[in-house]
């Protein structure tokens, strides 16, 4: 209560100062009156009484001031004065102030936006119940091992999903391809997120579906009666048992429905092999992660022996539990740290610039400050003034920065690849705003204290610019090196030959129907597509290249038996139609390509890539050798070798894939759940793009087409992560370079202004122009070179940290480490030119006259 009263009174004393001063006068007047009448009553003559009464108040003005001090008015008065004063100073230096404030706002805005991203990706708990107890166990990776842990584990509840796949959801006219995930029936309970409507899956659910909130809104008009109804999914009726709350789309943002994951030991290939799943666990209460991990490791030998085929001894040796959040954002962690580091450096450069601006003002006010000290202003009072100015400036910049942060986060979300984990969760909220306020205040104090500290030691003022040039040059060099490394890496990535010709190819994805398997559907569809005007080659495959989709199997090679203690051979697998090599123009090196004779009934055959041939049969002809998936009894014969293709990403296959195998579509390893279409066309593909769904529908009314695109778009998208990171870092490096150049200009210009008398006199005494130029240029050049050198030294360490983000670029890349410092020193030299010209134009005659 008392504090409330105090705050109210303080507030009143600031806002209603005039009223209160008036009250004070009235109070004094009434005192004088009472004292007068009292004195008169005691026998003092009236005229004398009044004089005595006034005198009893003492010096009225002094008392009045003291009363105002007592109200706490003085501090506010002074701060208001300080603010007015600094505002006038900023106006005098309008352009530079505006630029400084603007860059500061930009830096604070960027830092806040990137922090919003960083916070969402790395700091916030996952949006699940008690997320700290959720652990990733994806080293299990297959349905069989997962099923054993689910049934037997005592310390944790294990759940699994198989990522995202397309479902054919029956519609009014033709089905729509919708992304969904097959999940273990305990999936929702394990995450701790119950459906908003209906119920989660139960162990007995088979043909059931849970809808996302989005899908429920868009397809079923948010009708709650949908629960219990049946919808056709991949042509099978599925009972809708639940609707999830808004925003829930685990395991990936495009997921719009969930069905129960099939765990059928009778389907050994799927259960123990190709039907990979992602496994995670929730620790039961009172169980430590170490205990749960110990239980998991204890089960590994038993699981290994349960496989229907011999697993290598090493299988499961890496089984571990890692916090689910760390696992989900693993790919974005380094990028997030990098971006935050980059904007932090830009912010520091901006802070140094503002410190310089304020410092210049402090120097210009040297006389004023000295005068005020001699009139009795305490050093604390002057310090307070400088800090007030700085903090006011910083808070103004922070407020502008917040507005920019909203825009910048929007931009970041647009630039960053859409599959960046948790990108949708990034928002500017109170947490981020608190961070913004904190960095604004922090930088305000920093750039307020720097000049204040310097002016405390008045003798040191002339050299204050030097550390500034040094620091800015060092920071900017670090950013330029980083940008150089990432751009160089991007350049390498774009220069990668994908191994096929991506031009003039229309792509699409297609889900086969229940009655038409992929291969049968393709046999019917191919002639129609090939006959469409402009289509030269119509081909299909189980996956399209460079889409980042996984397709692989564990293989046995007849003449390369692996000892049981070694890991088994994993081979990348593409199942292709006869026309595939022709459509993508992949060269056949030896042997034969697939023909229509390679049917499901014919002897199984495969093609292998050149590097696979070189790895397993160096110097020998692999044609005629045999391999098979570990769970199949029948060997497949290699009939030819094709040139290497970047099937997975531009950087190549995952490290664990030891080779690349092609099978004919009818002989695919496992039934392809979808077809990727590849149509090489002549001329404008617009007509084809439009008519593709109808062409497909004529053949198969239950088949849905989606992701209609062009191969060149897919190739460009596959470099998107590198491109966005490189362009963001490059943009910030450029900003840093401009800021540093502006800072260096400011320092040198200020130096010339201050030394104009000295320079003029030296000129008058006959100093040559080149000498004077050197005198101006030397310190800034020296410190920017020293700063660049320090920046390079720091970059050696820092660039090692971002090595995993680089492709074909050594951490200490000669290109980046040469160009970055050169660019910086050049920029510093250019920034020095205008003040240099000014120094040379100093008129010695005028200097002498005015001196």
Partner 1 sequence: MSKSDAILQGTLHVLILQILSLEPMTGWSVSARLRQMSNETLHVSHGSLYPSLHKLEQQGWITGEWKESATGRQVKFYSLTRAGRAHLRKETDSWARLSTAVNGILGLS
Of 284, 273, 127, residue with least CA distance to 193: 127
Site stretch for partner 1 (CB under 8 A), options 27-35, 114-122, 330-338, 776-784: 27-35
Angle between the 73-92 and 379-415 helix axes, to the nearest 10 degrees? 60
Angstrom CA distances, 369 to 451, 561, 735, stand at 13, 87, 35
Q: What's the rounded Cα separation, in Å, for the pair 180 and 169?
A: 10
Q: How far is the CB of 34 from partner 1 (least distance, A)?
A: 4
Q: How far is the CB of 73 from partner 1 (least distance, A)?
A: 10
Contact pick of 3, 173, 318, 655 for partner 1 (by CB under 8 A): 3
Contact pick of 15, 56, 596, 621 for partner 1 (by CB under 8 A): 56
Angstrom CA distances, 219 to 92, 211, 512, 531, stand at 63, 10, 22, 35
Q: How far is the CB of 17 from partner 1 (least distance, A)?
A: 14
33 binds partner 1 (CB under 8 A): yes
Looking at the Cβ atoms of 1 and 655, the one nearer to partner 1 is 1
Q: How far is the CB of 48 from partner 1 (least distance, A)?
A: 17
Looking at the Cβ atoms of 30 and 818, the one nearer to partner 1 is 30
Site stretch for partner 1 (CB under 8 A), options 34-42, 141-149, 419-427, 630-638: 34-42
Looking at the Cβ atoms of 72 and 194, the one nearer to partner 1 is 72
Of 528, 474, 421, 459, residue with least CA distance to 736: 474
Contact pick of 19, 25, 38, 566 for partner 1 (by CB under 8 A): 38
Q: What's the rounded Cα separation, in Å, for the pair 818 and 477?
A: 10
Residues 6+ apart with CB under 8 A from 140: 146, 149, 158, 279, 303, 316, 319
Looking at the Cβ atoms of 10 and 310, the one nearer to partner 1 is 10
Residues 6+ apart with CB under 8 A from 837: none
Q: What's the rounded Cα separation, in Å, for the pair 269 and 274?
A: 6
25 binds partner 1 (CB under 8 A): no
Contact pick of 52, 62, 845, 848 for partner 1 (by CB under 8 A): 62
27 binds partner 1 (CB under 8 A): yes
Looking at the Cβ atoms of 42 and 154, the one nearer to partner 1 is 42
DSSP-derived 3-state class of residue 181: strand
Contact pick of 16, 19, 22, 30 for partner 1 (by CB under 8 A): 30
Q: How far is the CB of 3 from partner 1 (least distance, A)?
A: 8
Looking at the Cβ atoms of 9 and 600, the one nearer to partner 1 is 9
User: What is the footprint of partner 1 within residues 67-126 (CB under 8 A)?
Assistant: 67, 69-72
Looking at the Cβ atoms of 21 and 214, the one nearer to partner 1 is 21
Q: How many residues make contact with partner 1 (CB under 8 A)?
A: 32
Q: Do 769 and 850 contact (CB within 8 A), yes or no?
A: no
Q: How far is the CB of 5 from partner 1 (least distance, A)?
A: 4
User: What is the footprint of partner 1 within residues 556-615 (CB under 8 A)?
Assistant: none
Contact pick of 9, 52, 132, 845 for partner 1 (by CB under 8 A): 9
DSSP-derived 3-state class of residue 247: coil
Pairing relation of β-strands 322-323 and 156-161?
A: unpaired
5 binds partner 1 (CB under 8 A): yes
Looking at the Cβ atoms of 57 and 423, the one nearer to partner 1 is 57
Site stretch for partner 1 (CB under 8 A), options 22-30, 293-301, 643-651, 843-851: 22-30
Looking at the Cβ atoms of 1 and 91, the one nearer to partner 1 is 1
DSSP string, 644-700: ----SBTTBS-TTEEEEEEEEGGG-SS--SSEEEEEEESS--HHHHHHHHHHHHHH-
Contact pick of 31, 124, 284, 838 for partner 1 (by CB under 8 A): 31
151 exposed, middle or buried (CB, 10 Å; 0-12, 13-18, 19+)? exposed
Place of tokens 């995993």: 804
Rounded to 5 degrees, what angle do the CA atoms 31, 36, 42 make?
130
59 binds partner 1 (CB under 8 A): yes
Looking at the Cβ atoms of 56 and 524, the one nearer to partner 1 is 56
Tokens linked to 250: 């685990």
Question: What percent of the chain is helix, strand and coil (3-state, nearest 5)?
Answer: 55, 15, 30
Contact pick of 19, 25, 48, 66 for partner 1 (by CB under 8 A): 66
The total number of residues written for the chain in this structure? 851
Residues in the site for partner 1, rule: CB under 8 A? 1-3, 5-6, 9-10, 13, 23-24, 26-28, 30-31, 33-35, 38, 56-60, 62-63, 66-67, 69-72
């Amino acid at each position: 209560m008392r504090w409330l009263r105090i705050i109210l009174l303080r507030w009143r004393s600031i806002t209603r100062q005039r009223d209160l001063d008036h009250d004070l006068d009235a109070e004094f007047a009434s005192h004088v009156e009472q004292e007068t009448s009292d004195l008169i009553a005691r026998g003092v003559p009236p005229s004398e009484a009044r004089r005595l009464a006034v005198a009893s108040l003492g010096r009225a003005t002094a008392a009045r001031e003291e009363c105002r001090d007592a109200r706490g008015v003085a501090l506010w008065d002074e701060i208001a004065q300080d603010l007015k004063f600094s505002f006038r100073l900023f106006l005098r230096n309008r352009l530079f102030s505006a630029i400084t404030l603007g860059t500061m706002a930009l830096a604070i805005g960027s830092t806040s936006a990137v922090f919003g991203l960083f916070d969402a990706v790395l700091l916030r708990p996952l949006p699940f119940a008690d997320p700290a107890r959720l652990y990733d166990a994806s080293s299990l990776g297959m349905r069989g091992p997962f099923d054993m842990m689910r049934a037997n584990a005592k310390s944790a509840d294990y759940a699994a999903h198989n990522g995202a796949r397309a479902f054919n959801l029956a519609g009014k006219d033709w089905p729509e391809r919708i992304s969904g995930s097959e999940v273990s029936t305990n999936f929702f309970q394990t995450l701790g997120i119950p459906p908003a409507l209906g119920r989660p899956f139960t162990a007995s659910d088979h043909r059931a579906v849970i809808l996302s909130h989005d899908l429920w809104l868009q397809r079923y008009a948010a009708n709650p009666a949908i629960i219990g109804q049946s919808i056709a999914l991949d042509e099978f009726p599925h009972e809708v048992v639940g609707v999830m709350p808004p925003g829930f789309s685990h395991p990936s943002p495009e997921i719009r429905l969930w069905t129960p994951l099939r765990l059928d030991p009778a389907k050994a290939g799927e259960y123990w092999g190709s039907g990979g799943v992602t496994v995670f666990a929730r620790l039961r209460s009172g169980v430590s992660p170490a205990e749960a991990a110990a239980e998991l490791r204890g089960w590994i030998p038993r699981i290994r022996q349960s496989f229907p085929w011999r697993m290598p001894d090493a299988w499961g040796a890496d089984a571990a539990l890692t916090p689910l959040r760390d696992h989900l954002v693993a790919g974005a962690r380094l990028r997030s740290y990098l971006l935050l580091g980059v904007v932090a450096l830009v912010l520091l450069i901006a802070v140094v610039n503002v410190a310089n601006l304020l410092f210049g003002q402090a120097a210009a006010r040297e006389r004023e400050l000295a005068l005020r000290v001699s009139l009795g202003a305490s050093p604390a009072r002057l310090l307070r003034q400088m800090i007030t100015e700085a903090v006011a400036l910083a808070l103004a910049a922070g407020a502008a920065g917040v507005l920019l942060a909203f825009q910048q986060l929007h931009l970041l979300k647009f630039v960053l690849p859409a599959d960046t984990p948790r990108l949708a969760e990034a928002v500017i909220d109170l947490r981020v705003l608190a961070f913004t306020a904190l960095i604004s205040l922090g930088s305000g104090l920093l750039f307020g204290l720097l000049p204040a500290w310097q002016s405390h030691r008045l003798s040191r003022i002339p050299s204050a610019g030097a550390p500034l040039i040094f620091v800015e040059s060092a920071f900017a060099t670090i950013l330029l090196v980083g940008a150089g490394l990432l751009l160089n890496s991007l350049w390498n990535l774009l220069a990668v030959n994908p191994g096929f010709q991506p031009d003039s190819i229309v792509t699409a994805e297609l889900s086969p129907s229940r009655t038409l398997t992929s291969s049968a559907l393709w046999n019917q569809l191919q002639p129609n597509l090939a006959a469409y005007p402009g289509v030269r080659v119509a081909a299909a495959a189980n996956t399209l290249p460079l889409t980042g989709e996984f397709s692989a199997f564990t293989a046995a090679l007849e003449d390369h038996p692996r000892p049981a203690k070694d890991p088994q051979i994993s081979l990348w697998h593409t199942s292709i139609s006869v026309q595939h090599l022709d459509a993508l123009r992949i060269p056949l090196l030896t042997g034969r390509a697939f023909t229509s004779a390679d049917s499901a009934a014919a002897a199984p055959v495969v093609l292998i890539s050149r590097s696979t041939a070189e790895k397993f049969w160096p110097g020998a002809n692999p044609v005629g050798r045999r391999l098979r998936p570990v769970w199949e009894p029948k060997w497949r014969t290699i009939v030819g070798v094709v040139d290497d293709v970047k099937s997975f990403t531009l950087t190549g296959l995952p490290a664990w894939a030891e080779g690349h195998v092609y099978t004919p579509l009818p002989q695919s390893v496992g039934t392809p759940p979808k077809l990727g279409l590849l149509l090489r066309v002549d001329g404008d593909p617009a007509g084809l793009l439009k008519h593709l769904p109808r062409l497909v529908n004529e053949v198969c009314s239950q088949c849905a087409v989606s992701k209609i695109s062009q191969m060149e778009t897919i190739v460009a998208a596959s470099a998107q992560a590198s491109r966005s990171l490189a362009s963001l870092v490059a943009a910030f490096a450029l900003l840093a370079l401009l800021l540093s150049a502006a800072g260096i200009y400011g320092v040198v210009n200020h130096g010339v202004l201050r030394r104009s008398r000295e320079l003029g006199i030296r000129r008058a005494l006959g100093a040559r122009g080149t000498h004077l130029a050197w005198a101006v240029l030397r310190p800034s050049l020296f410190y920017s070179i020293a700063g660049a050198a320090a920046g390079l030294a720091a970059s050696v360490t820092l660039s090692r940290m971002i090595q995993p983000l680089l492709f074909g670029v050594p951490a200490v890349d000669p290109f980046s480490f040469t160009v970055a410092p050169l660019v910086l020193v050049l920029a510093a030299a250019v920034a020095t030119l205008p003040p240099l010209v000014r120094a040379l134009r100093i008129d010695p005659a005028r200097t002498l006259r005015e001196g």
